[in-house]
Amino acid sequence: MRCKAVNWTESNTLATADLSNATDTLSFNVLMNTQEGLYRLDKNGTPQLALAKKSQRFKGRQNL
């Protein structure tokens, strides 16, 4: 796989590089476009495994 470079310019300073602390639009947009999660959406919008190696389903109790 070949590495690809991304050049990104913003007029403001990134407030945080921690997605769990991102509250501003700039930080959220930059982090969502540069970090991959457990799943990604394919071209049809269907979730596919990304960083996750496998997934499991479990059934919760009724009437909770």
Q: What pLDDT was estimated at residue 31?
A: 85
% of residues, the chain, pLDDT over 90: 27
Domain layout of the chain by residue ranges: 19-49
Asked whether 23 and 14 are in contact (CB, 8 A), the reply is: no
pLDDT surpasses 80 at 8: no
Helix (H) or strand (E) holding 29: helix 25-34
Q: How confident is the model at residue 1 (pLDDT cuts 50, 70, 90)?
A: low
pLDDT in tens, 21-53: 889 999 888 888 888 888 888 999 999 999 999
